[in-house]
Amino acid sequence: MAVPPLVVATAREGWRWQWRQLMQGLGPADAEGRYVRPPSDRLEVTVPDAAALNRRSGRQRPRLVIGRSCPWAHRTWLMHRLRHLEGSLELLMATADHRAGRWTLEPTWMECSTLVELYRHCGTPPNHRATVPALVDPGEQGKRAAQLLGNDSAALSEALNRWPGGDGAPDLAPQDIQEVIERWQTLLQPAVNDGVYRCGFARTQRAYDEASTSLFAALDTVEEALQQKGPWLCGEQLTIADVRLFPTLIRWELVYAPLFGCSARPLWMFPALWRWRQRFYALPGVAETCDGEAWRTDYFGALFPLNPGGLIPAGPDLTTLVNSPAALP
């Protein structure tokens, strides 16, 4: 029996109203339906003295708290790997709890089982959002209480470039190309890193179209730069600019194209960018930070307003996808 048109129309309007309410909780928007990222409670990042760090035992070392699916945390994880920080900075993996909408810590650390508890243990105000990445210093026993050293991915990435690294740790933000790095940050942060969310969380067609146009215009700029001055964004040297872009581009086919509607053009239509992604993925330690199955589970499972059925679609093997040649139309 066919559903009466009036019932269909009523159900559609009712669902649309509920969808708007859910989307407002997921990501606020302006009056035109454009996604506006909530302001973060950013802290100035403090880098402890290298000699003092070396004197500490493993239990007293600072820890970088990350989430496997979070692209902002992924940036800092990459800095940790590329600069060989294992000897001076521990990693603590937080797990996304979809039902409770929070990050959990397994095993617990400093008697904290959730990221919220860890933030409060460090003395942060009650209204402070508990986000990853987070750099936490447990303090030297008997000398100082635990402290949140920073939780903004851009600032943390810069701080980790100054962090005491292992043998051969590269400088990913050389002073002589700071201006070029900053230009990439100014372009890519709003148009690409945030741009995929502006597409996915848009409330109106106009807001989506604007975000999509800006996103792919920025990718065109990257493509042209790589063709002319590659192999990296700033030329011959890998920099923090590449680190900031990679977490977004590596999630493209598995999450952002199917779920966020970043589908105006597939990435294989950007051949220089495709090769750039292959080159970055092949760097020592990078592939181990990439888990396509976890990304699909967390994004499709957690973002209910974008995927009400909760179905997690099948996707290609990430390594096979990345290492395949760019296809031709």
Whole-angstrom Cα distance, residue 289 to residue 295?
A: 11
- Where is 7: in which H helix or E strand? helix 5-26
Per-residue pLDDT averaged across 73-80, rounded?
98
Q: What is the CA radius of gyration of the chain?
A: 21
**In this structure, which amino acid lies at residue 240?**
I
For the chain, the average pLDDT equals: 89
Most confident segment among 89-98, 131-140, 159-168, 189-198: 189-198
Q: Which pLDDT value is given to residue 329?
A: 42
Higher pLDDT, 185 or 142: 185
- The CATH topology of domain 50-162 is Glutaredoxin (3.40.30)
Q: Structural domain boundaries of the chain?
A: 50-162, 175-323
pLDDT of 36 strictly over 60: yes
Strand ordering across the sheet containing 102-109? 112-114, 102-109, 90-97, 63-67, 134-137, 147-150
Global pTM reads 0.92
Whole-angstrom Cα distance, residue 148 to residue 242?
A: 27
Cβ atoms of 81 and 289 within 8 Å: the answer is yes
- Tell me the per-residue pLDDT of 244-301, one tens digit each, with 9 for 90 and over: 999 999 999 999 999 999 999 999 999 999 999 999 999 999 999 999 999 999 999 8
pLDDT of 43 strictly over 80: no
pLDDT of 109 strictly over 80: yes
Per-residue pLDDT averaged across 295-324, rounded?
91
pLDDT of 327 strictly over 80: no
Cβ-proximal residues to 165 (8 Å cutoff; 6+ apart), any chain: 83, 84, 85, 88
Q: Which pLDDT value is given to residue 1?
A: 58
Question: pLDDT confidence of 328, banded at 50, 70, 90?
Answer: very low
Question: How many CA atoms lie less than 13 Å away from 139 in the CB half-sphere?
Answer: 12
Cβ-proximal residues to 21 (8 Å cutoff; 6+ apart), any chain: none
pLDDT of 303 strictly over 80: yes
pLDDT of 304 strictly over 90: no
Higher pLDDT, 143 or 307: 307
Return the minimum-mean-pLDDT range out of 45-59, 74-88, 95-109: 45-59
Q: Which pLDDT value is given to residue 188?
A: 97
CATH code for residues 175-323: 1.20.1050.10
> Vertex 245, ends 170 and 328: CA angle to 5°?
115
| Closest to 221 in 3D by CA, of 187, 194, 251, 245 | 187
Question: pLDDT confidence of 61, banded at 50, 70, 90?
Answer: confident
First to last CA, the chain: 43
Higher pLDDT, 192 or 303: 192
